[in-house]
Structures are given as C-alpha cells and as structure tokens.
A and B are shown apart, each in its own frame.
Chain A
Amino acid sequence: MAEQDRRRRMEETKKQWEEGSLKKVLNRFPERNKVFVTGSNTEVNRLYDPFDLIDFDYIDELNFPGEYPYTRGVQPTMYRGRLWTMRQYAGFGDAEESNKRYQYLLKNGQTGLSIAFDLPTQIGYDSDHSMSHGEVGKVGVAIDSLEDMETLFNNIPLDKVSTSMTINAPAAVLLAMYIAIAEKQGISSSELNGTIQNDILKEYIARGTYIFPPVPSMRLITDIFDYCSKELPKWNTISISGYHIREAGATAIQEIAFTLANGIAYVDAAAKKGLDIDTFAPRLSFFFNAHNDLFEEVAKFRAARRIWAKIMKERFDAKDPKSMMLRFHTQTAGCTLTAQQPDNNVVRVAIQALAAVLGGTQSLHTNSRDEALSLPSQKSVRIALRTQQIIAYESGVAETIDPMAGSYYLESMTKKIEQGAMDYINKIDQLGGSPKAIEKGFIQREIQNSAYQYQKDIEEKKRIVVGVNQFQSEEEPMKDLLKVNPEIEKRQTEKLNKMKKKRNEAKVQKELKLLRKTALSKQNIMPSILNCVKCYATLGEICDELRSVFGEYRESLKI
C-alpha cells in the first residue's frame, strides 16, 4: 500500500516538474543540443530516475559481489581485499636491456612482468628477415630463439613471477620457449604462472599481426588450451581482447559484443575438440579498453560480466562458477590521446583509469601522455603509474565495492549496453559465428563505419576534442622523446648468426621435419614445437615450416 502511494506521489511530482519548472526553463533557455549522446553515440536522456528501473530485479541483474551473474564484480571483497594489479606493458630493445629492467622492477616489489615483443617477433620473422628491417626492437623486445629468451629471463626465477606475454599468432612458440627455460631452471611447468594473449580473431579484425589462415590458427589455439589444461594448469591460455577492436574505432557496445562473440568462437572450438568446458574456461581471461565517457565505460564493464556469465551458464552449460566469471585486464584508450597539448592526456588517462576501477578491472595499464607522438619517455611512464596510485590510495573509490551501482543512469546504461551487445551477438550467430562474420567482413565493416562516423563528427564539430577542434593553442613541441637505439638490429642479427653456427644443425632440421609431420596430422602440436625450440630452431624457422603447411592469411578489404 505504502509502496503504491509512494509511486503515485512520484508520478504526480514528476509530471508537475515536467510541466512546471522544467518547461519554463526550457522555453527560456533551450538546451545545448537537441540530442545528447555518449562517447559511442548512444542516446542519453535528460534525466534518469526510479521509473527507468521499474522492473529492476536486484538479484537477477546485479546480485552480490562474487555471485552470479557477477555484475558487481567477480570477488566478494573486490579491492578491499587486494587492489588491482598495476601492470605496465613494457619491453624494448633487445633481451639484455629488457632483462635489466625486469630485474630492477622485481627488486622494487613488482611481481608481474608484462612483455611486449617487437613486430617481427609477433609476425614470426627472425631479425635478419628482409621484412624485419627497421622494425627490430622497435615496439618491444626481439626474440629469435631460445637463446634470447634465456637472456630475457636470466636470473629471474620463473616460479616466483607471473608473466604476461602480448603474443598471438606465434604464441605457441613463445610459450614453448618459456616452458623450456623453466625446465632449465629446474622448475616444473605446472608451477608456471602467466598469460599469453593468443587471440587471433581480433588480429584479423583489428590488430593485424596474423600469420596463418583462421582454420589452422584456431587449431593452434585449441592445442594450447588442451596442452595447458594438462601441463600448465595455472596458465591463462588466452586473453580475449576488445582493446584493439575499440582502438580501431568500435563503439563501447561493439567492443564487448565482438570480443564476447570471439570468446564464444574459442569456447565452441575447444568444445568441438572434446575439451571439457570447466577445465579450460576458468583459464580464459579478457582485455578491454577504457575510454573517456565515464558512465558508459563503467556500464560496459559491468554489462560484459553479466553477459559472459549468462552465456557460459545458459549456452555452454558450464558448472564451475569460475568458468562464468569474466576476469579482465584494462588499458586506457591510446586512440583518445592527442598529439596536440599532450599534457592534457594525463587528465584523459585519469578519467579512463577511474572508469576501469569503477568497472571492477583485475589489472590496469595506464597510457603515457606522449604516446600519440612516440614511444613513451621514462617521465611519462612514471606519471601514468602515479595516476593509478592516486586513484588507489587517494580517491577513495577502492574502499567500497562497485560504488556506482544503483545509480539510475548507470543501471539503465548497463542494461542498454547489454541489449545492444546481445543484438550483435545474435546477428553474428546468424552469420555462422565470428570467424564467418570476419570472413564476410561484417565485423570489420561495422567498426569502420563507426570510425568514419567518429572522424566526421569531429570534423563537423559535433564532437569536441579539447585541443584538437576547439581550445587549440600554440605550443612548444615536446622534448625528451624516447628513441630506440638503431644498433639493436645489427647486434641482434650478429647474435643470431653466431647462435646458428653453434647449434646442432642436423638436430634442428630433424625436429623441423617432425614439426611438419605433426602440423599435417591431427596431433597436438605443442610437444613438437617444444622440441624445436629446445634445439634452438629459430622462431622464424618454426613459423616458416608452419607457413608452408598452413599457408598465410590475407586480409579482406571491407570499406
């Protein structure tokens, strides 16, 4: 009874407000825009109030932290228990230089290493390949053989650290090298802790460091799932990434829709291979982007958790709650950083990082202000890390769980994003799943349309970017930009040549032949790759062997 009275009173009051003071003000002072939209062009109402949450069911839609569908977070205590991992993606030059840096970080209390590889490594070329010229050691460390990996992890006990490797097409090779080093250190592979990105579908969609066509690529991935579930139970076998999809211009809804659709494709592939869902699904992790529109982003993270939980439970019939929990890493949005007035980027990164934390991320990388100009300088990297620390220790947002929950706006937005994403996922299902949708170019086209729209909106000043299309000012160019040492390429090539003279060539050729045989068969490919890396076959040699069996992928243009 009281409930009904309250409701009636609310309705009446709202009506009075709308027809009274609101109308009066609107007549005299029209609003800034006819329509208001989020950073991803989703329409935003003037006001959100209890009427937006009329059918809201707390248990169904949110529930308590650590409970299905995990909207409020995957752990019961969230950051009150432990803060998110502050994980800065780094890696530069050659293995020796990077090793020094890692040792320094570990001495200073960091336990998680995050490794960036240079582009030749990511595409499976050795440093002396003609395609590698000018790229060696540029965006990360160059790895040609087990020897480089030994240098990279020299004096680093692999049972004491967790290592995240941003590697996709040749992920199996780098993982094999990691296992081989652990063996040399006398550490069992079951002790190893870490993550490989291993997400090839988003490479076709957005990031571009693919090697092989989809079918053999998916086989490599499921081979890794299978192998790790037996040999490396603590290893995160994939980081299903929306980050690059968003960077390519996707909206918030598209980011999670396409990422989760890819996730479905991986689970499908593994299930088809006969793997039990609850043995591999708990090792799946995700990687998202954090943009400027604070509420939309927080809603996005929460919606993603809710959707994934439902998919795992209802569609795949998972039983283990761990299979349903969407754990994710976040990186702030590189594409929002401006070359103009780069110091402003510090503020953007702060808002984005805040969104990630309010969204319940498990780990976070904050970008450096100068990333639109070059590789980040030391000083910029430090500011970026400090930004996270200020959020963690000064802002107060980590002291209670999911503090924005219950906001009329946030919950409405969470629901809207969930619906939008589900519409896409259904559409992709109709097209036959995400690999087919990629082949048809559907996903790429949707993203490109969003990217083009965004650019047009900026050019027509429908969207303001401070310092770019408004509030411009004359400025001094940034100084102290980091440069990669051009000697690295030469050094790396010399090292490679020397190593090749030392190794047992006959053994290498024999193992490569065996690898070829395995590749042509249906057997798990991991043991063969492991044998190859152990006798110092190079990354390029291994990938070339696989190229000759699997062929190479060519992008399809969808504009």
Chain B
Amino acid sequence: MKNSIIRVLVAKPGLDGHDRGAKVVARALRDAGMEVIYTGLRQTPEQIVETAIQEDVNVIGLSILSGAHMHLFPKLMKLLKEREAIDIIVMAGGIIPGEDIVELKKIGIKEIFTPGTDTNRIIEFIKENVKVVR
C-alpha cells in the first residue's frame, strides 16, 4: 500500500512576527493534502536546515518580511549544501525586491513568491517540482 504525501517545512527566518502569509500558505497546503511542518517565528538557518533534514521534507518554504533575506538565505543555502541536502526544494515569499530575487535564484532558491500570490500557484509549483525530483 503506497501512500506518498508531500512534506513541506514552512518556516519564518528573521525576527519579524508577520506570520499571516506563512499561516495562510500552511493551511492551503494542508488543504491540498500535504503535510506541513510548522516551526513558528524566529528560526535560524541552522534550525531550519536541521529540521528539514530530520523531517525529510520535499520542500522548504521560507517567509520573511524583515528585510534580512540577503543575509539569511545565502547562509541557509550554504548549510543545505554542507549537509548534502540540496535535493530539498527551497522556495520563499515575502517582501523581496526584484534585484534580490535575481540574486537569490542564482544561489539555488527555486522560486520566490511576492505578496499577492495565489496559493494555488504555490501548490502547483510544489506538485510539479516534487514530481520531477522523485
């Protein structure tokens, strides 16, 4: 009996407490039949990577509005590489200016969703990409 369920870690790096987006997305993913590991506010890159590995997630979803993404995301990607876990897809959302998006995609963040993104787009993105990896 096979019963594969996509697992996603929804995490909030940085110190800001605006978790409306993260929670709406978490709920939408659950309603799309995924398992969402939700770890709450103020997550360090180390905590996020360690959690992603222990939970064996397919996707890490980062939500950040503090403006510290250019500092935290590269650190996180580096840790993922060190832990040989770059097969985990990383996506992000929040207030991230266009020029930063280009930079972040270069270091391996697969997709960045800006405010106002339809949750169905995020679900589709995950389904497409997780299938490819498997």
Contact = CB atoms under 8 A, between A and B. Distances in A.
A448 B15 contact: no
B98 A455 contact: no
A134 B71 contact: yes
26 contacts: A119-B15, A130-B44, A131-B15, A131-B44, A134-B14, A138-B67, A139-B66, A206-B17, A207-B18, A208-B18, A210-B17, A247-B18, A249-B24, A339-B116, A373-B95, A448-B23, A448-B24, A455-B24, A455-B119, A458-B118, A465-B116, A484-B67, A555-B40, A555-B41, A557-B38, A559-B30
Q: At the interface, is chain B mostly helix, strand, loop or mixed?
A: loop
Given A138-B68, A448-B27, 5 more contacts: A139-B16, A248-B18, A373-B95, A451-B23, A465-B116
Given A120-B15, A208-B19, A451-B23, A138 B95 contact: no
B17 A207 contact: yes
Interface string A475-490: 0010001001000000
Nearest to A555: B40
A375 B67 contact: yes
Interface residues of B, number: 33
Given A208-B19, A455-B119, A135 B97 contact: no
Contacts of A520: none
Contacts of A455: 24, 28, 119
A452 interface: yes
Contact of B97 (A459, A469, A481): A481
Interface string B102-127: 00000000000011101110000000
B20 A335 contact: yes
Interface in B63-91: 66-68, 70-72
Q: At the interface, is chain A mostly helix, strand, loop or mixed?
A: loop
A34 B40 CA distance: 40
Given A139-B66, A339-B115, A119 B16 contact: yes
A247 B28 CA distance: 19
A447 to B, nearest CB: 8
A209 B17 contact: yes
A207 B44 CA distance: 19
Contacts of B40: 554-555, 557
Interface string A239-255: 00000000111000000
A374 B95 contact: yes
A123 B16 CA distance: 10
Contacts of A373: 95, 97
Would you list the 7 A-B pairs with minimal beta carbon distance, nearest first?
A208-B17, A134-B71, A134-B68, A119-B15, A138-B67, A477-B98, A468-B116
